[in-house]
A = this chain, B = another copy of it.
Amino acid sequence: MSAEVSVTVGDLARALDARGWGELDLKVTGAAEPAATSPVGPNGGVIALAMAPKYAESLQPGSIAILADGMEPQAYGLRAAIFAPRPRLLMAGLTRAFDPGPEIAPGIHPSAVIDPSAEIGEAAAIGPFVVIGAKVRIGRNARIGAHVSIGRGTVIGDDALIHPGARIAHGVTIGLRIIVQSGAVIGGDGFSFVTPEESGIEEIRRTLGARDAIKEQHWTRIHSLGGVEIGDDVEIGANATIDRGTIRATRIGSGTKVDNLVMVAHNVVVGEDCLLCSQVGIAGSSKIGNRVVLAGKVGVSDNIEVGDDVIAGGASKIFTRVPAGRVVLGNPAVKMETQLEIQKAMRRLPRFAQQLAKLQETVTRLLEKG
């Protein structure tokens, strides 16, 4: 990691609300893994992340490190240290301190095409080739990277950071401090089609799989008139897609973080402070509660309700309602402890088959004897 900022160990400790030790006026220029550090020079040095003894073993004498409570800076020959009571939390403050962020020059690049009816807040940084539509409103301190497009009437709150090439369609409303990674598409049309007569999908949902005579039909498009509403402090990952609603808006609650390549379909409502990890897909009109965590590749069927505080393990497929607070796993997703039992039994399944066959033989012999 190379940074363009530098602070003293003492200032950094104060910023992190953590305890400093040693030469607190040494300059810190960035963070690194223990093996990548060297003794502090006249212009300072990087701070090593050594929050457990096994990491601290690679520390260079004369360097600066973050240690867990109880570790001894003298044992590693450090010149200064910061103690982390909750290491992952300290990482948040530390990395924020040294993140130079993407390069978007202050002001509006002359190549940007901004509709005269759009309102751009103070201190905006808008990159080359950005296109902003009619009646768009963007708050203060917006940083908008190259090639971003924002459609008619969309409203974005203060302190937005929109990375190059993100797409925000018309009629989208976004709160404060949004971060949109490159290639994300917010407000694409919902995937909603209908046939003149009952379709095969409607039929098998009614019959649980049985089909009558198959009809040849074409799909007619249901347009998406609803927009997308996103709360405060939301992050949308690279190449993720959040579709617009049919009549009302698709919604993402405040504090929710959406990873790369996630799909949130039309009319979905996601609550607050959720984590939707990479490649999650939520089908149309499903409702996700608050503080829900869906691990990578989790799928949620359409029109399903997932309660508050649910955690779904990696690649779980949710086909039915999940009550609040439940931890689920598997395809189809069931309680995690049930799934782990099922998996154990599955691994023993080939052996079961042998045991059952043998038992049948034995019983047959018993019957013959009897």
Residues of A within 8 A of B (CB): 1-3, 30-33, 36, 49, 86, 88-89, 91-92, 95-96, 98-100, 102-103, 109, 111, 113, 127-129, 131, 133-134, 145-147, 149, 151-153, 163-165, 167, 169-171, 179, 181-183, 185, 188-189, 191-197, 200-201, 204, 208-211, 214, 216-227, 233, 235, 237-239, 241, 243, 246-248, 255, 257, 259-261, 263, 265, 273, 275, 277-279, 281, 283, 290-291, 293, 296-297, 299, 301, 309, 311, 314-315, 317, 319, 325, 327, 330-332, 334-338, 340-350, 352-353, 355-356, 359-360, 362-363, 366-367, 369-370
Contact = CB atoms under 8 A, between A and B. Distances in A.
Contact of A356 (B152, B195, B359): B359
Contact of A370 (B182, B332, B347, B366): B366
Contacts of A334: 347
A317 B356 CA distance: 30
Contacts of A1: 225-227, 247-248
A346 B336 contact: no
Nearest to A221: B92
Contact of A369 (B99, B335, B370): B370
A209 B243 contact: no
B342 A349 contact: yes
Main secondary structure of the interface of A (DSSP, over half): loop
Nearest to A310: B200
Q: Which 3 A-B pairs have the closest CB atoms?
A: A95-B223, A188-B238, A99-B223
A193 B131 contact: no
Contact of A181 (B189, B194, B235, B350): B189
Contacts of A336: 204, 208-209
Given A1-B225, A1-B226, 13 more contacts: A95-B225, A99-B223, A103-B151, A181-B185, A188-B260, A211-B325, A238-B241, A263-B296, A277-B283, A342-B350, A348-B353, A362-B363, A363-B366
Contacts of A221: 92, 96, 235
Given A103-B134, A131-B127, A219-B255, A247 B32 contact: yes
A275 B219 contact: yes
A318 to B, nearest CB: 9
Of the candidates A31, A325, A332, the one having the most CB atoms from chain B within 10 angstroms of its own CB is: A332
A164 B128 CA distance: 16
A334 B353 CA distance: 19
Nearest to A115: B103
A30 to B, nearest CB: 7
A131 B131 contact: no
Contacts of A189: 179, 181
Contact of A297 (B204, B299, B349): B299
A3 to B, nearest CB: 7
Nearest to A209: B336
B95 A311 contact: no
